[in-house]
Structure 1
């Protein structure tokens, strides 16, 4: 895909406000490696090459294990994720595809067993933020660097 337009040049306020949202999401206390796994997983679902590339690089810089990055799209079958990470990844999938099935009550109960409510809303904000970035990048034609 070729870039359709540079949204940051067309309207710099969009980038400014998205960065404000990103900084806010980062301030909510989600552990940094989990934060990046959420971003990678949502970006995989959405097919955002730019964001997948960015967040796998960021995860590596944080010391994330290669196999956990490689197997993220098959996290259910891979033994390398904690129960807390698993419920966060499942929540990521459901919130990213919310129009298909909503967020099931049994998932919410499992998330609540692992996270306090303040952390649940933090997860939802992180998931929504990466979904917004994905949609902007994909719609504008932003791709992974060569």
Structure 2
């Protein structure tokens, strides 16, 4: 049981790191605004795992993190909430928060892709996240 939890925690950590890499790759390619990348990362940082295995995310924590990072930006609660939900939906559908043309990436992180990532980690546990992302097709 303890090793299963450790493995689940490791896989969650790995997937969040791959997601972070994808977001910052899009930002470095000038496809997205720095604030949008920050909002999505703050959203996932605010996540807590519930006893039933689902995740909950705190809008208030996201707003507080954003206010600290961008003190000169005035935040309207409803507009921020809608924009955050739009970014999350865009990320879940395209694995990118870029606007415009769709990438050639898969539209969802399927069980097959997760299994492929797990298998590659077991074969080469010291492989870097960028190499792993490129090999699994989660980023070009």
* TM-score, length basis structure 1: 0.32
The structure whose residues are more often strand, as a share, is 2
Which one has a bigger Cα radius of gyration?
A: 2
The structure whose residues are more often helix, as a share, is 1
* TM-score, length basis structure 2: 0.33
